[in-house]
Amino acid sequence: MNWFKEANKDIIGKIKRVLKTHPFTQALADYYNIPIDDVDNHLSIEVADLKGQFAEGNGRVMRLDKRLLDDQFFSENFHFIIHEFFHWLKRRSEELFYLNDSEEVQSFVLQMTWMMVEGKSKEEVIREIYPIIKTHYKNMNKAKFVFSDMLQKAVDLYEIYESGGKISM
């Protein structure tokens, strides 16, 4: 392995150590329910000539322009890593957490609406569906908020259906 690749490997290891150990990045990962070990297991970091860009990412690979990697990288340019780390966290969260998927949320709304169309009460819908939703959250307040929003959409859709109105999504 040539010295350039070896130097990049070392800097990538240092970047990942900061991402895994800094209280700020740990708090971000925790907020998005991403295990911090995912930095090692699901994030690739590459150094490249990005021709004018400083960094880019696609949810799996974070690419850094080689111009960033100078003596002051960690003190002056690490904010570019944080920017891309946030994109990675969001995409990883969406990949892991299916309730971030609008199609999945809409499916639950339609499921609850169907239950009401078929004669189930709002309370029965809550008893049956809320336990499913809350298993996907650490924060029960957030679970209640998300479920409440989905339930209200289902009730609204049910009322439109019952009144003979046109259903739109």
Split at pLDDT 50, 70, 90, the class of 3 is very low
For 18-74, give the DSSP string. HHHH-HHHHHHHHHTT--TTHHHHH-EEEEE--TT-SEEE-SSEEEEEGGG-STTII
* Position 129 pLDDT exceeds 90: yes
Find out whether 49 and 29 touch, Cβ atoms under 8 Å.
no
Q: How many alpha carbons lie under 13 Å from residue 64 in its C-beta half-sphere?
A: 24
Domain ranges of the chain: 3-96, 99-162
Q: Which residue do the tokens 């998300």 mark?
A: 146
The two three-digit tokens of residue 91, written as one number: 């995409």
Cβ burial of 150 (10 Å; 0-12, 13-18, 19+) is: buried
* Position 122 pLDDT exceeds 50: yes
What per-residue confidence (pLDDT) applies to 123? 96
Amino acid at 108: F
Residues 27-40: tens digit of each pLDDT:
999 888 888 999 99
Residue 111 CA to residue 104 CA, distance in Å, equals 10
The two three-digit tokens of residue 94, written as one number: 């969406």
* Position 72 pLDDT exceeds 80: yes
Q: Does the predicted model carry a pTM greater than 0.75?
A: no
Residues 87-109: tens digit of each pLDDT:
999 888 766 666 666 778 889 99
Neighbours of 84 (CB within 10 A): 20
Least confident of 8-12, 44-48, 104-108, 109-113: 8-12
What per-residue confidence (pLDDT) applies to 99? 66
What per-residue confidence (pLDDT) applies to 1? 43
Residues 76-92: tens digit of each pLDDT:
889 999 999 999 998 88
Q: Mean pLDDT of all residues in the chain?
A: 86
Beta bridge partners of 62: 45, 57
* Position 169 pLDDT exceeds 80: no
What per-residue confidence (pLDDT) applies to 167? 73
CB within 8 A of 107, min separation 6: which ones? none
